[in-house]
Chain A
């Protein structure tokens, strides 16, 4: 069952710089979906369009067959429906955390949705337990480390119990332990029925998730959509979109060139 659909989406920054050109895709119920591409290819812009924060200059986006537009998201009922179902975790946790303390941060979403205070508190407490952040509940967000901020940012969205969770570069800047924690969390949430959409250039994350993958080119177009296995095996495609590169190094006195992605392709 199709939940999100983008049809021929174009987006330009300042009416000049193209960020997305003719992007079409659909995301289905219970799916894991990754949008990959090099820096500046338009991944974050696409996520923001799918979450109704930006609106395409051409083309249309649908959520449960309802068009996302400035007009539709000004309708009270639809706005509530949409924001309850779609949660977005920004790449920079700093901009996402705006309440005085971690506890306020976790309560903000459920209270917005009109949940009773007891229920909201119960949700916040369960999420803190799951994310191991109970000890942080009274701390202001600027007194947290990068990994803690990311956990709180994810927690602040999860307390709204969204059907779709979109994460922009979720593992960037995190230590290996937090990355593994996050990966396990994403997989568990997907098993629990949540749709997971991530934007990343981390091919190891795509391999771990084994999601469906859309590849964005440096020309801001969808180059290919396929399974993780199919995409990760396609060296020519990954070279073309600059997600892997040719690497020169020495074996003794002999210079040697091979394809290198810092993860998958290191064949000799």
Chain B
């Protein structure tokens, strides 16, 4: 072996002392994208960790939680008055409080998404150009009103009282829907949620596919993150965007191939453990009396809000 070592490997690499500076290597958007993709692993871990806590709602049977979630989402969609919506908001708040969920983290996410997808998106509809009514906050004052085709542009364009009321209502409903969904996500591990969908008569085959997909997202996120590190270890400078795109294309092909092989292996492993075409999911334990009581209480509360 010793005699086979090529002469160039016996030479010390050119630069004996490190040069410093020479400008910065900019990180391409593709690199940033891959790093963010690797963040999926962290997010998944954070969800599992936060959902595995101790507290009232954490310990409630997942099937009860899923039915509660569906029922309350239905109530949110049906009610169009402030009082019931405020009631739902308060209910979620109390559940979070007694379950000892971190309120700051929870509401930071809910309010941010509620602001973007509820308030910002619907805000233009509160202008008197769209929702007619009494202008309470003028924005633009034109010299006169204009009419063309079927449209009427009033002389004073502004937010109307009716429009503001509709936007507030919509924002509150978005916030309520989000807080109900996040309440489930924050207090229930994702695989449990999938299994609990069985009570909604979602077919087992579909549930297995979702479970496996969820699991393999993490496996492949790890592969992508590792591939990124492997490439980084052999890069001595910045990469052109075109080269980076080529690399991504090659790696997508590799992942596809790997997925195919993994799929074959998983199927063989299933056959090896007795799979014969019929899917049997692990059955839940029986719902306890405590779960029934809380379930009934939440159902009664939802019905009361629906009735108000």
Which residues of B have CB within 8 Å of A109? Answer: 234, 236
Distance of A14 Cα from B240 Cα, bound (Å):
31
Give, as a whole number of angstroms, the nearest-CB distance from B17 to chain A: 7
Say which residue of B25, B46, B237 sits within 8 Å of A14 (CB atoms). B46
Which residues of B have CB within 8 Å of A112? Answer: 234-237
Which residues of A have CB within 8 Å of B254? Answer: 94, 98, 142
Give, as a whole number of angstroms, the nearest-CB distance from B50 to chain A: 12
Which size class do A's interface residues fall under? 35 or more
Which residues of A have CB within 8 Å of B18? Answer: 64, 66, 77-78, 81-82
Q: Mark B215-248, 1 if CB is under 8 A from A, else 0.
A: 0000000010011011111111110000000010
Inter-subunit contact B247/A98 (CB<8 Å): yes
With known contacts A51-B233, A108-B234, A129–B251 Cβ distance under 8 A: no
Inter-subunit contact B45/A14 (CB<8 Å): yes
Stretch at the interface among A18-26, A181-189, A196-204, A229-237: A181-189
Inter-subunit contact A76/B23 (CB<8 Å): yes
Q: Mark A46-81, 1 if CB is under 8 A from B, else 0.
A: 001001011000000000101000000111111111
Inter-subunit contact A98/B236 (CB<8 Å): no
Inter-subunit contact A142/B8 (CB<8 Å): no
Count contacts on B: residues with CB < 8 A to the other chain.
Answer: 48
Inter-subunit contact B234/A157 (CB<8 Å): yes
A173 at the interface (CB under 8 A from B): no
Within 15-36 of B, Cβ neighbours of A (below 8 Å) are at: 15, 17-25, 27
Inter-subunit contact A100/B10 (CB<8 Å): no
Inter-subunit contact A81/B8 (CB<8 Å): no
Inter-subunit contact A130/B4 (CB<8 Å): yes
Distance of A161 Cα from B234 Cα, bound (Å):
12
Inter-subunit contact B10/A95 (CB<8 Å): no
B5 at the interface (CB under 8 A from A): yes
With known contacts A74-B25, A129-B4, A189–B13 Cβ distance under 8 A: no
Within 204-253 of A, Cβ neighbours of B (below 8 Å) are at: none
Inter-subunit contact A76/B6 (CB<8 Å): no
Inter-subunit contact B236/A83 (CB<8 Å): yes
Inter-subunit contact B6/A123 (CB<8 Å): yes
Which residues of A have CB within 8 Å of B226? Answer: 90, 92, 95
A127 at the interface (CB under 8 A from B): yes
With known contacts A66-B18, A113-B236, A123-B8, A98–B227 Cβ distance under 8 A: yes
Distance of A83 Cα from B23 Cα, bound (Å):
16
Say which residue of A16, A88, A99, A161 sits within 8 Å of B9 (CB atoms). A161
Inter-subunit contact B9/A158 (CB<8 Å): yes
Give, as a whole number of angstroms, the nearest-CB distance from A1 to chain B: 12
Inter-subunit contact A83/B22 (CB<8 Å): no
Distance of A87 Cα from B226 Cα, bound (Å):
16
Inter-subunit contact B6/A127 (CB<8 Å): yes
Say which residue of B1, B7, B13 sits within 8 Å of A163 (CB atoms). B13
A255 at the interface (CB under 8 A from B): no
Give, as a whole number of angstroms, the nearest-CB distance from B263 to chain A: 16
Inter-subunit contact B24/A126 (CB<8 Å): no
Given contacts A84-B13, A95-B230, A109-B234, 20 further A-B pairs with CB under 8 A are A64-B18, A75-B22, A75-B25, A76-B22, A80-B22, A80-B237, A85-B15, A95-B226, A95-B227, A114-B236, A126-B6, A160-B234, A161-B9, A161-B11, A161-B13, A185-B1, A191-B2, A192-B5, A192-B10, A194-B9
* Minimum-distance CB pairs A-B, first 8: A77-B22, A126-B6, A77-B19, A76-B22, A83-B236, A184-B1, A81-B18, A96-B230
Q: Provide a sorted-by-A list of 13 A–B residue pairs whose CB atoms are within 8 angstroms.
A: A14-B41, A76-B22, A76-B25, A77-B19, A79-B237, A81-B15, A82-B18, A87-B233, A98-B227, A130-B5, A142-B257, A156-B234, A160-B234
Q: Which residues of B contact A (CB under 8 A)?
A: 1-2, 4-15, 17-25, 27, 41-42, 45-46, 49, 223, 226-227, 229-238, 247, 250-251, 254, 257-258
